[in-house]
Every structure is written in structure tokens, then in C-alpha cells.
Amino acid sequence: MDNKTIVEVLEVLRKEYKKWKDPVVTEIANNTRNPFLVLVSTVLSSRTKDAVTREASRKLFYRASTPHAMSRLTAGEIEKLIYPVGFYKTKAKRIPELVEMLIKEYDGKVPDSLEELLKLPGVGRKTANLVITLGFGKPGICVDTHVHRISNRFGYVGTRTPEETEFALRKKLHEEWWIIYNGLLVTLGQNICSPRKPKCEECPVSNFCEKRI
């Protein structure tokens, strides 16, 4: 798949996108425009279904929606609020560490650079890029399992890991599509392009797809 074709694909998906439900972190970003809530909800979303992340985020943010407010919650309290997200015990310990660093090192504000975000406990490239794009509206390419799988299935990249996919996309994909690319492909992956038995007959871009994996 070449660059001209991927643009055609993304244009189609942008029109179809309205039919599907936003990924939960996108939903939170659109509703709040708050980088801190985007950051924490992204941490919660790892290895967790959107419905579970949505409810856990709602309960946690009702109790604390700023770094300083969240710093007053114990790990045990956070654990109860976010249960049953994936690895909830680990995340309940990691969130206070993250919040403490934000307060001590960044005056309670989420940094807006990839380099600084990657210094935060438990923040990898996927989370950092999502905060950059959805929290600050700055160019970045967030690659999760959906984006990695579908980009390869399309035949747009040929990579082995999400990190390789991110760097391949940075070289190949025009920057105007960077921010929206994640949301479009995650939504496609959640609704149609599943890892096993994708619903190709329902896919609006099936005729473009090389179906490599």
C-alpha cells in the first residue's frame, strides 16, 4: 500500500468513524481537554476493555481529577476505585508514583514533550504519544496493538513490533494524519478488524487492504 492509497483509506475511515463509538481515551479527551485525565485513563486502559476503563476512570476522576487531589488517595483507595482493570494492583501503586513525580518535578502539570513524558513511571511510547496527541493536540503517532496489526494487515508497513511500526509511520505517513491515525485504526480494530476472523465483508476499506496478516 502506497501513500496515495493510505490517504484514500483514511478519508473513508474518517467518514465511517461517526458510525462507531470513540475509543474511551479519545472520549475522555474530547470531553475534558485535560492532559492529566488523558494520561491516567491511558494508563488504566492498558490490557483492559474500553467499558471497564470507562467505568474505572469515571469512579477515579469523581474522587480526584487533579494531581494534587489524587496524591491524597492511598494506593488501596485507588485499587478499589479502578478494579477490575487489567493489572489493577500494579496500576494502583504506579499512579501515586506518577502523581508524585508530576507534583515534584513538573509543578503538578503534565509535560507536553515526548522526552519528558517518558521519564514518568509506567509511561511508555504508546501512552506518551497519546497524551501528546489527545492531551495537547501536538503531532505524534500512538501505536497500540490495533494500529500495529492493521497497519501491517493493510500492507502499509512491514514491522514486527509496535515501536518499529511507530518509527516506520513517522517516516512514511504524512504528518497531517498523525494525530487522527490512532483513533481511526483503533475504532476499526474494535468494531471490524479484529485479530482473528476480521469482518472483511463489513469493512469499508476492504478493497484497499492487502490482508497480509
Output the domain CATH number for residue 86: 1.10.340.30
- Report d(CA 91, CA 89) in Å as an integer: 5
Residues 97 and 77 reside in one and the same domain = yes
Residue 213 has pLDDT above 80, yes or no: no
Q: Give the three cell numbers for residue 178.
A: 498523525
Segment 163-186, tens digit of pLDDT? 999 999 999 999 999 999 999 999
How many domains is the chain partitioned into structurally?
Answer: 2
Q: How confident is the model at residue 18 (pLDDT cuts 50, 70, 90)?
A: confident
Q: How confident is the model at residue 52 (pLDDT cuts 50, 70, 90)?
A: very high
What Cα–Cα distance (Å) separates residue 147 from each residue in 68, 92, 152?
Answer: 34, 27, 8
Output the pLDDT for position 159: 97
Domain-embedded: residue 209:
no
Segment 25-40, tens digit of pLDDT? 999 999 999 999 999 9
Output the pLDDT for position 127: 95
Output the pLDDT for position 192: 94
Residues 130 and 198 reside in one and the same domain = no
Residues 54 and 101 reside in one and the same domain = yes
Output the pLDDT for position 151: 98
Segment 56-98, tens digit of pLDDT? 999 999 999 999 999 999 999 999 999 999 999 999 999 999 9
Last residue within a domain, chosen from 83, 106, 136:
136
Output the pLDDT for position 76: 96
155 burial via Cβ count (<10 Å: 0-12, 13-18, 19+): middle
Residues 18 and 79 reside in one and the same domain = no
Best CA proximity match to 81, nearest among 66, 97, 61, 96: 61
Residues 127 and 167 reside in one and the same domain = no
Residue 21 has pLDDT above 90, yes or no: no
Residues 99 and 152 reside in one and the same domain = no
Residue 22 has pLDDT above 90, yes or no: no
Residue 113 has pLDDT above 80, yes or no: yes
pTM for the model stands at: 0.91
Residues 54 and 156 reside in one and the same domain = no
- Report d(CA 138, CA 48) in Å as an integer: 26
The mean pLDDT of 197-205, rounded to a whole number, is 95
Segment 132-160, tens digit of pLDDT? 999 999 999 999 999 999 999 999 999 99
Domain-embedded: residue 113:
yes
* Structural domain for 155, as ranges: 3-22+140-202
